[in-house]
Structures are given as C-alpha cells and as structure tokens.
C-alpha cells in the first residue's frame, strides 16, 4: 500500500473508532483513543485500554504509565515517533477497571485492522489483557503475564509474521522498580530484534 493510501486508511479507521458505539463503554468516554505513531513501524506496542489522561487527550499512553513507557522506548533507542502504540480496547472503562471479555471481543476488530495496516515485525504486548488478546489472535494458548513475560514467540497474526513479546504493563511497573527493569529489558530486546534485522544479521525474524 502506498504512503498516501496507508494514511487515508488510518484516518478512516481512526474516525470509525472515534464514533464507535459497538459496546457500552462509549457512554462513559470523553473521547475514544485510536492508536498512533509510525504507520511503517517495525515495532508495535499494545496496551489494555485508555486511562483518565488518555480519555481526556484522545491519545494512547500520555499519562504516568505512558511517561514510563516513553522513557523505556527512548532508552532502547526506539523514540516514540518510530513506533506505533495502541490499545486492545479504545475507550476508557469506568475507574480503569479491566475490560470485560465482551468489550475486548467487540473492540479487537480495530486492533486487527491496525496490525494489517502497519504490518509490524515485533509486537510488544503490555500486560495481561494485551497478551491474552494477541495470543488468541495468533491461535496460541496464553498462560498469564507472569509465565509468558520476556518470551519471544513467532506467530502469524492477521496474516502478518511477527514476534510476539509479552511484558509487564507500564502501570504495574510504575511502583515496582523490579518490574520496571524487566519492562525496560524487554523493550530493549524488541529494539535489538529489529536493529539486528536491519544490519542483515540473523534474528528470530529470519526463521519465519
């Protein structure tokens, strides 16, 4: 797809998301939050759902957890404009509760479309909701965030060959320095995967 077509498709998708009323979450939102970033990104990061600040600003990961994620990306040499960041669910659940299965089932079509559009090489799943949704799209069994964290799993999602890399959610890492260290390490591993690929070195991505 050409650059202009891709941008057009993204803009149309973002508009559909902003006016979506497919599940009851629309009733409590200030605004829906489509993903954003580089439409040609090699690395996509997927969170759970917008929080308060994201709901107010209409952008993903712009609150405290977003700040932590932005810093982890910078440290790894993957500044935010180079990646694509989104959530499984595009509207804020009341009091930031975990989205229900029904809400995920209703909203995951947008994540699927984002993956088909961006065609990333590595998808970092931030936390349990993202890991579980992405593994399910890949037809893989999800054993929970603690068991899966830090694994690199080759998978086909929406016809796109990717490495899925589950890690902790940045909100969980906010108050737990050990989790923060692991999250930073995992983001660095994602960066290494794509950098080695660009240097023509063999990575997990070559075996797909």
Binding positions for ligand URA, rule: CB under 6 A? 47-51, 54, 60-61, 63, 65-66, 87, 171
Q: Which residue is nearest to ligand URA (CB)?
A: 47
**Complex with ligand URA: residue 100 or 204, whichever CB lies closer:** 100
**Complex with ligand URA: residue 64 or 204, whichever CB lies closer:** 64
| DSSP assignment of 163-196 | EEEEE--HHHHTT-HHHHHHHHHHHHHHHHHHHH
| Residue 143, token pair as written in the block | 């054993």
**What is the smallest separation between the CB atom of 145 and ligand URA, expressed in angstroms?**
13
**Complex with ligand URA: residue 175 or 207, whichever CB lies closer:** 175
Tokens 């009851």 -> residue = 24
In the chain, the DSSP E strands lie at 36-37, 43-47, 84-87, 122-126, 153-157, 160-167
Mark 109-128 as b/e (b = at least 16 C-beta within 10 Å). ebbebbbebbbbbbbbbbbb
**Complex with ligand URA: residue 131 or 205, whichever CB lies closer:** 131
Which DSSP symbol is given to 124? Answer: E
**What is the smallest separation between the CB atom of 191 and ligand URA, expressed in angstroms?**
20
**Complex with ligand URA: residue 54 or 103, whichever CB lies closer:** 54
Contact yes or no for 36/60 (Cβ under 8 A): yes
């Amino acid at each position: 797809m050409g650059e202009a077509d891709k941008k057009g498709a993204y803009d149309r998708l973002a508009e559909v998301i902003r006016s979506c009323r497919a599940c009851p979450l629309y009733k409590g939102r200030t605004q829906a939050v489509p993903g954003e970033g580089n439409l040609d990104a090699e690395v996509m990061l997927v969170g759970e759902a917008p929080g308060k600040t994201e709901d107010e600003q209409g952008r993903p990961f712009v609150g405290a957890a977003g700040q932590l994620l932005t810093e982890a990306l910078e440290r790894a040499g993957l500044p935010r404009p180079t990646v694509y960041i989104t959530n499984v669910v595009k509207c804020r659940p009341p009091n930031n509760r975990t989205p229900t299965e029904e809400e995920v089932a209703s909203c995951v079509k947008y994540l699927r479309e984002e993956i088909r559009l961006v065609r990333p090489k590595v998808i970092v799943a931030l936390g349990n909701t993202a890991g579980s949704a992405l593994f399910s799209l890949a037809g893989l069994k999800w054993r929970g965030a603690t068991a899966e964290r830090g694994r690199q799993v080759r998978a086909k999602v929406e016809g796109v060959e990717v490495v899925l890399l589950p890690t902790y959610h940045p909100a969980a890492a906010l108050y737990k320095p050990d989790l923060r260290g692991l999250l930073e390490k995992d983001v660095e591993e994602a960066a290494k995967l794509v950098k080695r690929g660009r240097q023509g070195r063999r990575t997990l991505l070559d075996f797909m």
